[in-house]
Amino acid sequence: MINIILFGPPGAGKGTQATRIREAYGLAHLSTGDMLREAVAAGTEIGKQAKAIMDAGKLVSDEVICGVVADRIEQRDCAKGFILDGFPRTVPQAHALDELLARKGKAIDVVLLIAVDDEALVERIERRNQESGGARSDDNVETLKSRLKVYYEQTEPVLPVYREKGLIREIDGMQSIDQVTSQIEQVLSAIQLTGG
């Protein structure tokens, strides 16, 4: 069992890599962005509130998102371990996650920090928007700028929380998708060999 946080700016490739490691290790993939997009599509109360916030590239409140994650982590497919993708995104979310996991006798085993240059992110987001035919209404340069600002102001400050615990492993996100996956696999096998 291994519990992973995939960390990095928007467009770093967290979703792509999460899908690959989920398959290879049989883990649950918990993407808070996907959960919110599903809520928007289903027209739930949370979805209605989240839509405008997401389109503006801002963050949904800690309370709402922590509630969503707490429910999701209860589900049976998380028992063998999970990959958190896009959560925690603020220091209070990181603390809430710690408490939530501690109550269940669980913990985060590793934080994979996917590092990518800002210019590359803008290119990737533009490409993703074109390739998906605009499927994500927040994949445009204007919203990306706001998402990046939010990342540096609110999300990066989460890193020291995990750095103190010695949990961060940096991955070079400028490599090809396959190279990033293999670097992640190397890190994960080293962790599994040493038993956490």
Which residues contribute to the site for ligand AMP (CB under 6 A)? 10, 32-33, 36, 53-54, 57-60, 65, 86-87, 89, 93, 138, 147
Catalytic, 103? Answer no
Indicate the residue among 17 and 32 with the shorter CB distance to ligand AMP. 32
Catalytic, 136? Answer yes
Using Cβ positions, the residue closest to ligand AMP within the complex turns out to be 33
Indicate the residue among 13 and 57 with the shorter CB distance to ligand AMP. 57
Catalytic, 127? Answer no
Both tokens of 24, joined, read 């290879």
Catalytic, 89? Answer yes
Q: Which of 135, 142, 16 is nearest to 86 (CA)?
A: 16
Contact 79, 27 (CB under 8 A): no
Q: What gap in Å lies between CA 18 and CA 59, rounded to an integer?
A: 21
Q: Which of 134, 146, 132, 128 is nearest to 14 (CA)?
A: 128
Give the amino acid at 194.
Answer: T
In the complex, what is the shortest distance from the CB of residue 88 to ligand AMP, in angstroms, rounded to a whole number? 6
In the complex, what is the shortest distance from the CB of residue 71 to ligand AMP, in angstroms, rounded to a whole number? 14
Catalytic, 128? Answer yes
Q: What gap in Å lies between CA 108 and CA 159, rounded to an integer?
A: 13
Active site residues: 14, 89, 128, 136, 147
